Amino acid sequence: MSDFLTAALYKFVDLPDFADLQAPLQAFCESHDVKGTLLLAAEGINGTIAGPEAGVRAVLAHLRADPRLAALEHKEAHSDKAPFYRMKVRLKQEIVTMGVEGINPNRMAGQYVKPQDWNALISDPDVVLIDTRNDYEVSIGTFEGAINPATTSFSELPDWVRREMGPEGRLQDRGGKKPKVAMFCTGGIRCEKSTAFMRTQGFDEVYHLEGGILKYLETVPEAQSSWRGECFVFDERVSVDHALQPGHFALCRSCRDPVSAEDKLSPLYVEGVSCPGCHDKTTEAQKEGFRERQRQIAFAQQRNERHIGIKRGLAAKQAEATEKTSL
């Protein structure tokens, strides 16, 4: 039986008193043995928490007791291992960092499209389909025909959009009118903010996938699916297939990007030290540090002990997801 419940949540809502919520929320989570990261900002809340099921549900109920968060939704998963080692409630300028002032998804986001209606929308040749996720996510799976902006962080997306609005870009005016745009991400939060940004740039017909890729995979039968590949997720599964079962990718413990079976055959892949994508991006001193960590992991495994470094690698990726990109 699974001992831990993980809940991923976000909501764009006006929270002018967000700083006052930090200490009570931190204390409430700690008192219920719940760990993870929650971000608070004037624009809302975002994060992932985990712990005993009763504790996590108590925190969710505590959040929803605030009338502004009464409609807060979450996605959950069960595990027999603790994914986090401490609780952090942080104050931020944005709950998902785009770096553009004046964006309010609570009032400006594009039109939701339900998963069962998504195929019809993106099959329209007049629709420009954009994957708002980071390059390492797109590399293992995306929707057929989607444009990959090749960003390394969500904050790079606005500049990409502005470039593509130019004379040679894929978002240039067509017959004096901006094209229809459909955007998607893993769970929804980046879509809400990116479509709100698009509307500030003069795009009137902007759509986003309700519930994100994960809801689409859950809803649309694989035989009717326009999804190709696997979906990167920020937990110990690394990726999931169309049935939402663990996929075929592992995690590089150096750069924390996904690695395939083919990557592991490369001479540049050294378990726990490097992969083809990051081998040339770390110094020899850093690699030696990774080698030592890997030796400690192997030693712990020989003694049938769990090495915290393994989980910290995943926790770091989860924290990165929460603070830079998220769902």
Positions annotated as catalytic residues are: 185
Q: What is the dihedral of CA 77, 83, 89, 91, to 10 degrees?
A: -90
Q: How distant, in Å, are the alpha carbons of 104, 126, 231, 322 from that of 225?
A: 32, 20, 13, 28
Q: Which residue has the tokens 């785009």?
A: 98
Burial of 80 (0-12, 13-18, 19+ CB in 10 A): exposed
Distance between CA 280 and CA 274 in Å, rounded?
A: 9
Distance between CA 54 and CA 181 in Å, rounded?
A: 42
Torsion sign over Cα 278, 284, 286, 290: positive
Torsion sign over Cα 318, 322, 324, 327: positive
Q: What is the dihedral of CA 165, 170, 175, 177, to 10 degrees?
A: -50
| Contact of 208 with 131, CB cutoff 8 Å | no
Q: Check residue 285 and give left, alpha or beta (phi > 0: left; psi -120 to 50: alpha).
A: alpha
Q: How distant, in Å, are the alpha carbons of 97, 232, 312, 317 from that of 320?
A: 11, 14, 12, 5
